[in-house]
Amino acid sequence: MKILVTGFDPFEGNQVNPSWEAVKQLPDHIGQHDITKLEVPTVFHKVMNVIQQALDSEQYDAVVAVGQAGGRAEITPERIGINIDDARIADNDGQQPIDIPIQLKGAPAYFSNLPVKRMTENIKQQGIPAKLSNSAGTFVCNHILYQLGYLNATRFPNMLFGFIHVPYIPEQVESSEQSPSLSLDTIVKGLIAAIEAIDRNDDIKIALGETH
Ligand code: PCA
């Protein structure tokens, strides 16, 4: 498969974003997959203009977006993106959005159509902490996952799409020892394991994700 993997630029005072740091270190080929890497802005709507441009100029079988989740100790493939973009319509870097690539009439939420459980298990098999997450939060990471679902529903029906959150890297938490982190090398290995597990077969049938 031809897979587009995105990572975010640093946001809210962070010096780096481990998602892009890790994505840019991915090899060009993972198993059968050809990997294209793209850095995207942590800005509502603008991020989707960048992704749409990429999807219009090249045909991808899958898009895997990756982002930082400070405070998490595991690599967490996300199950679902929710539609809260009504709250974000004027939040485009302080500017009025001109060309919003969304319709608020989209579904209330979209489930990732990647085999998120197989991906989670494959990361764990490398001895790397991973969990299936049932919430991508309410910031740009949820936005990108929801919007990828919307694009899948309206324009790219064959496209697989999903999102993976990664923890901080150690240099980001030096001043606050309480925050968990994983080495960049471990995050890169975890992403490789996740991407390796991507195929169009049905996901494995096991219960994953916290219920309380
Ligand atoms: N993490 C943020 C947005 C960009 C990023 O890397 C989030 O979890 O929404």
Residue 89 has pLDDT above 80, yes or no: no
What whole-number distance in Å separates Cα of residue 149 and Cα of residue 199?
A: 17
Tell me the catalytic residues.
78, 141, 165
Ligand 1 centre distance from Cα of residue 69 (Å): 6
Main-chain phi, psi angles of 87, to 5 degrees: -80, -10
Q: How many CA atoms lie within 13 A of 43 on its CB side?
A: 15
- In angstroms and rounded to an integer, the radius of gyration of the C-alpha atoms of the chain is 16
Q: What is the pLDDT of residues 168-192, one digit of tens each?
A: 999 999 876 679 999 999 999 999 9
Which domains does the chain possess?
A: 2-197 (3.40.630.20)
Q: Which residues contact 179 (CB under 8 A, 6 or more apart)?
A: 70, 71, 168, 172, 173
| CA 183 – ligand 1 centroid, Å | 18
Query: Among 42, 148, 164, which residue has the most ligand 1 atoms within 8 Å of its CB, making it the best to mutate?
Result: 42
By mean pLDDT, which of 36-50, 56-70, 163-177 is the weakest? 163-177
Task: Tell me whether strands 160-166 and 76-77 are parallel, antiparallel or unpaired.
Answer: antiparallel
pLDDT band at 212 (very low <50, low <70, confident <90, very high): confident
* Residue 143: CB atoms within 10 Å: 26
Residues in the chain, total: 212
Average pLDDT over residues 65-81: 97
3-state DSSP call for residue 34?
strand
